[in-house]
């Protein structure tokens, strides 16, 4: 995350020429002077930062250990995964803790460095506004919310690590305080004066998130939204009094509910048996409709060509949609098999090291794909036979459809 905020909140540097402007009375006014009393007041409220440097030390220590474990400064994906990166298939399997652990990991030194700078600059303000305990709770909740939003966009096989979602949460809290502080005395006016800088930093970071490949902007926006909510529930009265930890009870319950919904949602989207059952229901409907159409052909209420055209408009798109979902499930199953297998020294994954359940999941999805391909071929043969008046071609399609339906039933039964 890029920060263009005051790079030295604890210092009081001399203003540059462009930071001084004449006021209406002819006096020179220092634009930075407004922040100096704010920093002094916040420093008086809590002279010593506790959580911000502790978080900074932890993320640096974890990165150093990951470098030592992988032997690489740019942390490879398999190391990130084993250390707790956000990963949809793992979360779908009940590893909900990845929503929390991923916010402590970083992929490379630049990633760590930018987030460390941002943490120090904005943590300085938010920890002194909220107090150390409430600050820690808000940081963790914002990080989890960011991960929960991110995984909805990267549920198949995308890895995501980094503290930036939680940092956007801190940013959201500070922005809420700044947006609601006008009219709350001198301190409120000082904090309100931060709004232009805050909005500028927000816009720059969101634009970079869309332009630069590899940035998880879903996590950024999720963290920001979580921070705005947390700021409203917990932080908007922090100028008047240090918020009590009891105020975080409702946000904690809301976040727990979001985590449960996320795990259930991702699990449902990656439930192979549920997808096979859905496909089987659609196949049964298509077969029933085809039998009705055949009787209408025999009664001369419809022509075979009309039935073929209707099948092309209605049945084939359903099959293709199911094939797309099966492709996605196969990518998930393959990624999960690779993630749970033991790689060799060169990073290759011997087939024998893939756990049985991961291999079975991938094989099950492969069988579903074969079933759908056969069913698609059966309908194409039926349509060609109907249009050309080739009864043998239609019968061949019927036989192939029966095989596909039987295979789909076996996949559903797990045999």
Summarised one tens digit per residue, pLDDT across range 292-331 is 999 999 999 999 999 999 999 999 999 999 888 888 777 7
Instruction: Tally the residues of the chain.
Output: 415
For the chain, what percent of residues have pLDDT higher than 90? 44
For the chain, what percent of residues have pLDDT higher than 70? 81
Catalytic-labelled residue, pool 3, 164, 181, 238:
164
Question: Which of 119-128, 216-225, 271-280 is predicted least confidently?
Answer: 271-280
Mean pLDDT of 341-346: 51
Catalytic status, residue 181: no
- Which pLDDT belongs to residue 63? 96
Q: How far apart are the C-alpha atoms of 79 and 107, rounded to whole Å?
A: 10
Q: How far apart are the C-alpha atoms of 98 and 87, rounded to whole Å?
A: 7
Q: How confident is the model at residue 269 (pLDDT cuts 50, 70, 90)?
A: low
- 50-89 residue pLDDT tens: 999 999 999 999 999 999 988 899 998 778 888 999 888 7
Which among 299, 173, 165 is positioned nearest to 239, based on CA atoms? 173
- Which pLDDT belongs to residue 156? 54
Q: Is the pLDDT of residue 413 over 90?
A: no
Question: Which of 178-192, 211-225, 394-408 is predicted least confidently?
Answer: 178-192
- 120-161 residue pLDDT tens: 988 988 999 899 999 999 999 999 999 999 988 876 556 789
- Which pLDDT belongs to residue 268? 66
Domain boundaries, the chain: 17-267, 272-413
Q: How far apart are the C-alpha atoms of 175 and 339, rounded to whole Å?
A: 39
CB count within 10 Å of CB 139 equals 27
Q: How far apart are the C-alpha atoms of 275 and 290, rounded to whole Å?
A: 23
Catalytic status, residue 108: no
The set of residues, in sequence order, having a beta carbon less than 8 Å from that of 385 and lying 6+ positions away, is 391, 392, 393, 394, 395, 396, 397
For the domain 17-267, what is the CATH superfamily, name and number?
Rhomboid-like (1.20.1540.10)
The set of residues, in sequence order, having a beta carbon less than 8 Å from that of 95 and lying 6+ positions away, is 87
Predicted model pTM: 0.69
Catalytic-labelled residue, pool 156, 181, 220, 238:
220
């Amino acid at each position: 995350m890029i920060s263009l905020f005051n790079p030295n909140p604890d210092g009081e540097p001399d203003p540059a020429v462009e930071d001084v402007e004449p006021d209406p009375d002819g006096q020179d006014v220092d634009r930075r002077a407004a922040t100096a009393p704010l920093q002094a007041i916040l420093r008086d409220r809590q002279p010593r930062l506790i959580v911000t440097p502790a978080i900074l030390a932890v993320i640096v220590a974890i990165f150093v250990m990951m470098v030592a474990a992988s032997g690489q400064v740019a942390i490879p994906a398999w190391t990130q995964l084993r250390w707790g990166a956000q990963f949809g298939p793992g979360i779908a399997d009940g590893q909900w803790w990845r929503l929390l652990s991923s916010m402590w990991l970083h992929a490379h030194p630049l990633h760590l460095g930018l987030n460390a700078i941002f943490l120090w600059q904005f943590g300085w303000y938010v920890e002194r506004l909220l107090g150390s305990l409430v600050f820690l709770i808000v940081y963790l909740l914002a990080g989890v919310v960011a991960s929960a939003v991110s995984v909805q966009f990267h549920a198949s096989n995308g890895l995501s690590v980094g503290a930036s979602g939680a940092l956007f949460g801190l940013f959201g809290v500070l922005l809420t305080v700044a947006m609601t502080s006008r009219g709350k005395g001198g301190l409120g006016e000082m904090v309100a004066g931060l709004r232009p800088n805050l909005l500028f930093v927000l816009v720059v970071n969101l634009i970079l998130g869309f332009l630069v490949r590899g940035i998880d902007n879903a996590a950024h926006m999720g963290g920001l939204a979580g921070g705005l909510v947390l700021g409203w529930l917990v932080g908007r009265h922090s100028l008047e009094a240090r918020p009590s930890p009891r105020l975080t009870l409702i946000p904690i319950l809301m976040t727990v509910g979001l985590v449960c919904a996320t795990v259930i949602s991702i699990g449902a989207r990656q439930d192979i048996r549920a997808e096979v059952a859905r496909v089987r229901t659609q196949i049964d409907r298509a077969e029933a409709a085809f039998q009705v159409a055949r009787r209408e052909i025999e009664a001369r209420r419809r022509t075979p060509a009309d039935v073929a055209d209707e099948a092309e408009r209605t049945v084939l798109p359903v099959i293709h949609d199911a094939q797309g979902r099966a492709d996605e499930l196969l990518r998930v199953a393959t990624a999960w098999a690779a993630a749970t297998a033991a790689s060799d020294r060169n990073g290759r994954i011997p087939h024998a090291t893939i756990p049985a359940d991961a291999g079975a999941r991938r094989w099950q999805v492969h069988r579903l794909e074969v079933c759908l391909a056969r069913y698609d071929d059966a309908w194409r043969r039926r349509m060609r036979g109907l249009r050309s008046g080739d009864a043998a071609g239609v019968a061949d399609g019927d036989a192939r459809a029966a095989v596909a339906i039987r295979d789909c039933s076996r996949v559903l039964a797990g045999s």
